[in-house]
Amino acid sequence: MDRVIIIRYGEIFLKGKNKSYFESLLINNIKNSLKRYKFEFFRSQGRYIVGNYDINCEYEIIDSLKKVFGIYSLSVADRVETEYENGFAGVNESLKRLAMDAASDCLKPKPTFRMTVKRADKRIPMRSCEIAAFLADTVLKNTDFTVNLTYYDYEFFVDIRENGYSYVYSDVIYGSGGLPVGCSSKGMLLLSGGIDSPVAAYMMAKRGMKQVAVHFASPPYTSERATAKVAELRDIVDAYTAHMPLYVVPFTEIQLEIHEKCPAEFMITIMRRFMMRIATVLAKREGCTALVTGESLGQVASQTVESMTSTESCAGLPIFRPLIAFDKEETMALAQKIGTYETSIQPFEDCCTIFLPKNPSIHPNLKKVEEAERKLEIDELVKRAVEGTYKV
């Protein structure tokens, strides 16, 4: 008897002729997410099997797999020889153990169960429901469970494969769903260090987008720790994003120039326009086809429709804002789920909060902003910032 993890994929199932492309990405991402562990990987008709792993690492392996987009669900199963001639001896033994474990954990009076059998091995003359009835006997004999096919507390699965082996299991663990990262092109994420942008990275990764992150730093106004915090956030979301490189752009010079030469009310808008320009240059260099931000409509002055319109006009690429209609609470709940929240709330100043004007314009007029910007040597400033950019 072997212990294995069965991996089922979701949406890819619906793909037509491109299915193998999606599958190869998913397999690659699965193997990468488990690269710290020893294991064997098999493909088996619309599902994958991870076997021969160290049983002590089972929880860690499942945790890693739960974060791989494209996986619909997982089950830890016993792989046994079917032994039909022997009255399903191996299956029965495994089933008995599962049932007794379930019975000892069960606190409910009069628990019910259902037996679900799939018979891919057509050499066996019994039909699935006959096998189910036969195997259910084992559960009935060893526990106080009763059968109820519609309203059941436990479901025991026996999957009889053609190769003479069967998988026996009872629990289904749900994965993250979505599409395998890499299937939806590459995007450049503007990663600030706050709560929203790591969540935006998670959301886009869920739809299969590979991402490269860019962070704007303003030393000495922002500290080395703020950058370290951003790198830490990247490391946390990496479990979902299948590794996201991080670039840090020196932004001080641009901020000082804006501060000196432009009206305070447009400070933030102009600053964000520069971020878009720089991100666009870097995105094209990295082969990214879109920008991603954590903006949410109306959250702050720079996230009104007018503000976003005026910053968007500087981006040479489409901007995706997966959190646009999220309340802060919803974003925070997701941040907690993916594990970035605690790091995000560490108090280090980021480049957006320094030189913050008292009354930023909430509805900046694009013409006025462009007029105000004219005093700056935009191309030169962007070029220098891009040149100073480094990878973390």
Partner 1 sequence: MTERSVIYLDNAATSPIREEVLNAMTQAMRSDYFNPSALYAPSAEISAEIRRIRSEICAALHAPEGEMYFTSGGTESNNTALFCTRKPKGSRIIVGMGEHDSVYAPANELKARGYDVRFVPIMRDGTIDAREFENLLDESVSLISVMHASNETGGINDIAALVKLAKKRAPKCVFHSDGVQAAGKIPVNLRALGVDMYSVSAHKIHGPKGIGALFIKKGVSAKPLLFGGGQEKGMRSGTENFPSIAAMREAIRIYIENEYATNYSKISKYRELFKARLTEIVSDIEIITPTHNSVPNILTVAFKDVRGEVLLHSLENYGIYVGIGSACSSHHESRFKSLLGLDDRHRDGVVRFSFSEENDLSEIDFVVDCIKRELEILTKYRRI
- Footprint (CB under 8 A) of partner 1, residues 330-389: 347-349, 353-358
Size of the site for partner 1 (CB under 8 A): 20
Q: Give least dist CB 134 to partner 1, A.
A: 58
Q: How far is the CB of 255 from partner 1 (least distance, A)?
A: 8
Q: How far is the CB of 227 from partner 1 (least distance, A)?
A: 11
Indicate the residue among 228 and 354 with the shorter CB distance to partner 1.
354
Closest approach of Cβ 391 to partner 1, in Å?
18
Pick from 130, 133, 154, 131: nearest CA to 144: 154
Is residue 259 part of the contact set for partner 1 (CB under 8 A)? Answer: yes
**DSSP character for 292?**
E
Question: Among residues 76, 219, 261, 362, which is the contact residue for partner 1, using CB under 8 A?
Answer: 219
Residue whose CB is less far from partner 1, 97 or 259: 259
Structure tokens at 383: 């070029």
Token duo for residue 269: 């808008």
Identify the helix (H) or strand (E) that includes residue 79.
Answer: strand 71-81
Rounded to a whole number of angstroms, the minimum distance from the CB of residue 387 to partner 1 is 19
**CB of 81 closer than 8 Å to CB of 252:** no
Smallest distance from the beta carbon of 217 to partner 1, in angstroms?
11
Beta bridge partners of 173: 74
Among 85, 260, 329, 379, binds partner 1 (CB under 8 A): 260
Residues 310 and 303: beta-carbon distance below 8 Å: no
> In this complex, which beta carbon is closest to partner 1, that of residue 137 or of residue 224?
224
Closest CA to 301 of 264, 329, 332: 264
Alpha carbon distance 210, 386 (integer Å): 22
Which range touches partner 1 (CB under 8 A), out of 7-15, 156-164, 213-221, 228-236? 213-221
Q: What is the DSSP string of 297-325?
A: TTSSGGGSHHHHHHHHTT-SS-EE-TTTT
Q: How far apart, in whole angstroms, are the C-alpha atoms of residue 339 and residue 135?
A: 42
Nearer CB in complex with partner 1: 297/356: 356
Instruction: Name the residue nearer to partner 1 (CB basis): 19 or 261.
Output: 261
The residues pairing with 217 across neighbouring beta strands, listed in sequence order, are 250
The nearest distance, CB 347 to partner 1, in angstroms, is 3
**Is residue 305 a contact residue for partner 1 (CB under 8 A)?**
no
* 62, 172, 264, 317: which one binds partner 1 (CB under 8 A): 264
Could you tell me which of 292, 284, 319 has the C-alpha nearest to residue 213?
292
Q: Which of 152, 160, 165 is nearest to 99 (CA)?
A: 152
Chain residues that interact with partner 1, rule: CB under 8 A: 219-224, 256, 259-260, 264, 267, 347-349, 353-358
